[in-house]
């Protein structure tokens, strides 16, 4: 290449870089305007486009002997813009009706399946998918999403509940235990308020402990059932559909453990749990009542 040709090539590369930077700035401004207007169609169009431009900017190498401070500023700017594109999709989605929410959050998943903004979005997202496309589609979304977000309590609770409803007890127990672990140690999502997170975490832990405890009781693992259901009780207070089975299973667990260890006090504790289960309006309240009487009678006959 001649010296003139080399000079022209340098100018062309520089010109392309300047044009790309101008496009990024222009798209970023337009995206901000679309978010402010809650223009979902424009946000869906501009967010991925702007993300592509930002990521192209991040690929520009550091200048040799050039202005490093300016380059670092531009890298930070491009990083911030790319993150904003994810926020734009999330913020617009959660203010939209279900079909639009699903469309925008699916776009965000495609752009970055590990986006921090998805951490607080999966609860309403799955509800919106269920409403617009059905439970089977919501299960498909959750199954795929949990691979990228293995500690998301909304995903884990949804999957545990779904498996429990289908009688898939191994799968339900696995997801319930993962829900408990995530709810115990996972930090508050950046996009959630402390109050909202505590409410979501409490509900998830209640479901996780309840599912794990009920399944353990069904399998005769009474020590595990006793531990998990005692943890569930304060979290499921007021939910009779969960409280009835929890108290009854606790009754049978403590009766059995007491009988095995010849501990009358524990057997009577089992009777008390059954009596409490009988006081709740649920399917097996009569059975719980009769079992409470039988346990008391058996315990009274002990020395």
Residue 65: its pLDDT value, please? Answer: 74
Q: Cα–Cα distance between 259 and 270 in angstroms, integer? A: 10
Banded model confidence at residue 9, pLDDT cuts 50, 70, 90: very low
Residue 132: its pLDDT value, please? Answer: 97
Banded model confidence at residue 8, pLDDT cuts 50, 70, 90: very low
Those residues whose C-beta lies under 8 Å from the C-beta of residue 191, and which sit 6 or more positions away, are 90, 116, 117, 119, 120, 121
Residue 71: its pLDDT value, please? Answer: 87
Residue 302: its pLDDT value, please? Answer: 86
Cα angle 22-113-53, degrees, rounded to a multiple of 5: 10
Those residues whose C-beta lies under 8 Å from the C-beta of residue 214, and which sit 6 or more positions away, are 164, 225, 229, 245, 246, 249
198-218 pLDDT, tens digit each? 999 999 999 999 999 999 999
136-180 pLDDT, tens digit each? 999 999 999 999 999 999 999 999 999 999 999 999 999 999 999
233-283 pLDDT, tens digit each? 999 999 999 999 999 999 999 999 999 999 999 999 999 999 999 999 999
Residue 6: its pLDDT value, please? Answer: 39
Residue 242: Cβ-neighbour burial (10 angstroms; 0-12, 13-18, 19+): buried
119-129 pLDDT, tens digit each? 989 999 999 99
More confident residue, 13 or 272: 272
96-120 pLDDT, tens digit each? 999 999 999 999 999 999 999 999 8
Q: Cα–Cα distance between 51 and 85 in angstroms, integer? A: 6
**Which of 44, 50, 64, 53 has its CA nearest to residue 16?**
53
Say whether pLDDT at 13 is over 60.
no
More confident residue, 214 or 71: 214
C-alpha gyration radius of the chain: 28
Query: Around Cβ 169, how many Cβ atoms within 10 Å?
Result: 17
- DSSP string covering 167-207: T-HHHHHHHHHHHHHHHHHPPPPTTS-HHHHHHHHHHHHHH
Q: Cα–Cα distance between 206 and 153 in angstroms, integer? A: 12
Say whether pLDDT at 19 is over 80.
no
Cα angle 156-158-163, degrees, rounded to a multiple of 5: 95
Output phi, psi for 236, to 5 deg: -110, 15
Q: Estimate to the nearest angstrom the gap between the alpha carbon of 269 and the chain centroid.
A: 36
Say whether pLDDT at 7 is over 90.
no
**Which of 60, 55, 57, 58 has its CA nearest to residue 86?**
55
Residue 20: its pLDDT value, please? Answer: 60
170-196 pLDDT, tens digit each? 999 999 999 999 999 878 888 888 998
């Amino acid at each position: 290449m001649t010296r003139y040709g080399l000079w022209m090539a340098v100018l062309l590369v520089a010109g392309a870089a300047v044009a790309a930077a101008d496009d990024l700035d222009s798209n970023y401004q337009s995206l901000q305007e679309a978010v402010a207007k809650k223009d979902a169609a424009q946000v869906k169009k501009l967010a991925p486009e702007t993300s592509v431009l930002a990521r192209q900017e991040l690929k520009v190498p550091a200048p040799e002997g050039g202005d490093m401070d300016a380059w670092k500023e531009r890298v930070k700017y491009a990083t911030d813009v790319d993150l904003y594109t994810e926020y734009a999709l999330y913020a617009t989605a959660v203010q939209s009706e279900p079909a639009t929410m699903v469309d925008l959050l699916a776009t965000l998943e495609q752009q970055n399946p590990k986006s921090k903004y998805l951490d607080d979005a999966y609860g309403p997202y799955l509800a919106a998918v269920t409403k617009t496309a059905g439970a089977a589609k919501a299960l498909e979304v959750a199954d795929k999403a949990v691979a990228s977000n293995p500690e998301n309590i909304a995903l884990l609770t949804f999957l545990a509940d779904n498996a429990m409803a289908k009688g898939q007890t191994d799968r339900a127990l696995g997801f319930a235990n993962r829900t408990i672990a995530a709810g115990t140690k996972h930090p508050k999502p950046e996009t959630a308020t402390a109050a909202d997170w505590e409410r979501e975490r409490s509900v998830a832990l209640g479901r996780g402990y309840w599912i794990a405890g009920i399944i353990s009781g069904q399998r005769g693992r009474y020590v595990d059932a006793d531990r998990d259901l005692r943890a569930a009780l304060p979290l499921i207070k007021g939910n009779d559909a969960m409280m009835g089975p929890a108290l009854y299973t606790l009754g049978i667990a403590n009766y059995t453990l007491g009988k095995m260890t010849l501990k009358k006090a524990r057997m009577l504790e089992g009777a008390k749990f059954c009596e409490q289960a009988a006081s709740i309006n649920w399917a097996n309240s009569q059975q719980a009542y009769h079992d409470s009487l039988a346990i008391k009678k058996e315990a009274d006959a002990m020395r």
